[in-house]
Structure 1
Amino acid sequence: MGINFLLLFFTAIGAGSLVFFAPKFKEKYFKLILVFAGSYLFSITVLHLLPELFSSGFDGGKMGLFILIGFLLQQILEFLSSGIEHGHIHNHHGESKSGVITVMLGLFIHAFLEGTLLSHGNLVGVDSAGHLHSGKSVLIGIIMHKGPAAFALAAVLSSSLSRKWTLILLTLFALASPLGMFSSAFLFENGILQKEGIGMLYGLVVGGFLHISTTIFFESSPHHTFHWNKLLVSFLAAGLAIASEYFI
């Protein structure tokens, strides 16, 4: 988990810090990055997370309920964060202190929950045939998602806070997923969190991933216009997800 910590932490710090070096980014390129990340996230959810959840001995009906709750929970979290986790940057200038706290709360809870996916692959990653699936594709997906989210967060914070406070809050966000990873591992190892609880957390996160990835798709073409570049990026991300799941 040490390597996962370093990758998660420095991805967020590095991506967020780009705001100070490239403040006038090209919006169309940022949207393509979001589409790529969203396509990959959706693909690994369908290819990796959903099959494992429904083949790991959990009650299928309850798991479906947890996924739905996670989908709805993400709507609440995005109400708090104003959608920064899927790239909303505009309309945040001059954010009040209470607004900053709300944004950070929504993003921290989301990032904390997604970190739990990386701590118990030996419990949820075993299919009905006893095969342990690799969690590399999930880690890559979370990293791809965390990078644009960290950049968007830093862009919003820097519009109303000093560089010092922007970096402090960015560091707090960068620590959220590792904290979720270590906390769930600690609770399970000490018998506080059982396998059923781990499955519930996974279901909540999968529901959140479905909400975020589909929202990115819909918002990338608000007027239902056709764009070859977005289509090609989506196919490329899906192909990478397939490769990372079955060939790496």
Structure 2
Amino acid sequence: MLLTIIILIVCTLLGGLSLNLIPGVQKNLRLPLIFAGSYLFAITIIHIIPELFSISSNPSTIGLYVLIGFFLQQFLEYFSSGVEHGHVHVHKAVSTSGRASIIIALMVHSLLEGTLLTHDSPFHEKHESYSLLLGIVLHKMPAAFALMATMQGLGKKAIYLLILFSLASPAGLLLSDLVLLSADSLLIVFAIVCGSFLHISTTIFVEASPDHHFGLNKILISLLGAVLAIVVEFMM
């Protein structure tokens, strides 16, 4: 668990700090976002959904919670303006209340997704959750970058917000282990996060092609992300 927490924190911090550490990274973010979105979508389809429905005694109810998670994420993005999927808002000023809304929405989403990595549940009886960990990391790094880009005018306060964001998913992991939710309660949370991941990953594809033209390079990057998910899930 400690290694998982360290990976989550370090990768999130690196994603946010890359705004200033890597010149021109903002102009070249689209393809990495597509890769991350493809991986997240694939791992949701081949890992989360099959395990959810195989473990649940009431698949119809689980499907309902997946749907709730999808629209919950849409509701959260009303406040976060899509920072979860790398949407950057440097072209317009963000008010103090707007910044607060963004960070609160991000924290709620991150707390929920952290629960996926708990080891005290039937969700990972078949194998460890390395594929999920990689998916969350690939998703959080561009989100952290977008957060820092949106909060550029805050100076050092932006770093504090990044640190807070980096701790959210580990906090969700720890809370889910400490609270000792029942298996049924965990499945509900997992289903909600599953719906959230479906919303985020599909939104990345839509935003990556605003003119509805998905070029060959984007298709190849998408396939590469999906293939990596398959390799990590079934061969590692």
Amino acid at match of 1:2: L
* Equivalent residue, structure 1, for 2:43: 44
Q: Distance in 1 between matches of 2:50 and 2:14?
A: 33
Native 8 Å contact 2:117 2:133 kept in 1 = yes
What pairs with 1:1-248 in structure 2 (closer than 5 Å)?
1-22=1-22, 24-27=24-27, 29-90=28-89, 93-120=92-119, 122-126=121-125, 132-158=126-152, 160-162=153-155, 164-188=156-180, 193-248=181-236
Q: Distance in 1 between matches of 2:62 and 2:115?
A: 16
Q: Distance in 2 between matches of 1:58 and 1:219?
A: 37
How many residue pairs get aligned? The number is 236
The SS at the match of 2:227 is helix
In structure 2, the CA distance between the partners of 1:56 and 1:92, relative to structure 1 (3 Å rule), is farther
Amino acid at match of 1:65: L
How far did 1:133 drift? 2.5
The SS at the match of 2:54 is coil
* Equivalent residue, structure 2, for 1:129: none
TM value normalised by structure 2: 0.96
In structure 2, the CA distance between the partners of 1:52 and 1:63, relative to structure 1 (3 Å rule), is same
In structure 2, the CA distance between the partners of 1:112 and 1:23, relative to structure 1 (3 Å rule), is farther
Q: Distance in 1 between matches of 2:91 and 2:216?
A: 30
The SS at the match of 2:88 is coil
The SS at the match of 1:54 is helix
How far did 1:174 drift? 0.3
Native 8 Å contact 1:56 1:125 kept in 2 = no
Q: Distance in 1 between matches of 2:197 and 2:10?
A: 22
Q: Deviations over 1:120-151 (max 9, x none)?
A: 4641134xxxxx13311000000000111001
RMSD: 1.3
Q: Deviations over 1:88-129 (max 9, x none)?
A: 113553211111100001111011100000004641134xxx
The SS at the match of 1:112 is helix
Native 8 Å contact 1:88 1:152 kept in 2 = yes
Q: Distance in 2 between matches of 1:26 and 1:103?
A: 19
The SS at the match of 1:88 is coil
Q: Which structure features the higher share of helix residues?
A: 2
Native 8 Å contact 1:116 1:202 kept in 2 = yes
Q: Distance in 2 between matches of 1:161 and 1:23?
A: 20
TM value normalised by structure 1: 0.92
Larger mean CA deviation between 86-95 and 54-63 belongs to: 86-95
Amino acid at match of 2:3: I
How far did 1:225 drift? 1.0
Q: Distance in 2 between matches of 1:170 and 1:26?
A: 17
Native 8 Å contact 2:80 2:106 kept in 1 = yes
